[in-house]
Amino acid sequence: MAEKYLVHLDGESMEIELDRDGEQTLARFGDDDSWHQVDLQQVLASGLYVLLMDNRPIELSVEPRSRLSARVTVGRHRLEAVVERWRPPSARAKRRTVTKSGKAELTAPMTGSVVEVLCSVGQEVAEGDVLMVIESMKMNNELRAPVTGTVTSIRASDGDRVQSGDVLAEIEAAPVNGDSDAD
């Protein structure tokens, strides 16, 4: 089964689909319908990699910035790269929805098992903080706070099996600059 990723290179975004077929990996880029054989190999224990694309080598230098981002140098071109799991646009929008009551929901983006709950009720969190880790298809996926605020409920525990779309936690969104309940 193919996996999709959204790759941002210096502000330009592209979908990449990867399909592992036994010993080989195939990739499809953006709107291109053709598949390309790819293989990424690290040179010793350095930041240097060789990407074989349809058996043509491309040298890459990779400087990790965070778990999901890196500075990638290809020849004389230096690019800032951010990689995330692809989600349908409607799912991305739904993850960031705040209800009229000011609550935001952290939902499971896929079916999997909760590996670790990293937050507690009453905890103040910032948008982007890792709140949970779920395992799906032998990969750990960090679930991040969709808004800045206070965790008001946690509906999952370590080891729970969750389905895509399940609400895992609720966060009371902090007022945005200038917002106030008082008139």
**How high is the pLDDT of residue 150?**
95
**Nearest alpha carbon to residue 35 among 48, 50, 59, 18:** 18
Residue 20 has φ and ψ, to the nearest 5°, of -95, 120
Residue-level pLDDT at 52: 94
Global pTM?
A: 0.48
Distances (CA, A) of 57 to 14, 40, 51, 52, 71: 21, 10, 6, 5, 19
Query: Based on C-alpha coordinates, what's the Rg of the chain?
Result: 19
Q: 89 φ, ψ to 5°?
A: -50, -35
How far apart, in whole angstroms, are the C-alpha atoms of residue 12 and residue 174? 31
The architecture CATH gives domain 89-173: Beta Barrel (2.40)
Residue 88 has a pLDDT of 63
Delimit the domains of the chain by residue range.
3-85, 89-173
Q: What is the pLDDT of residues 3-61, one digit of tens each?
A: 888 888 877 888 889 998 888 999 998 888 899 999 999 999 889 999 999 999 999 99
Give the torsion sign (CA, 79, 83, 89, 92): negative
In CATH terms, 3-85 corresponds, of 3.40.50.10790, 3.40.190.10, 3.30.465.10, 3.30.700.30, to 3.30.700.30
101 band by pLDDT with thresholds 50, 70 and 90: low
State the pLDDT at residue 56: 95
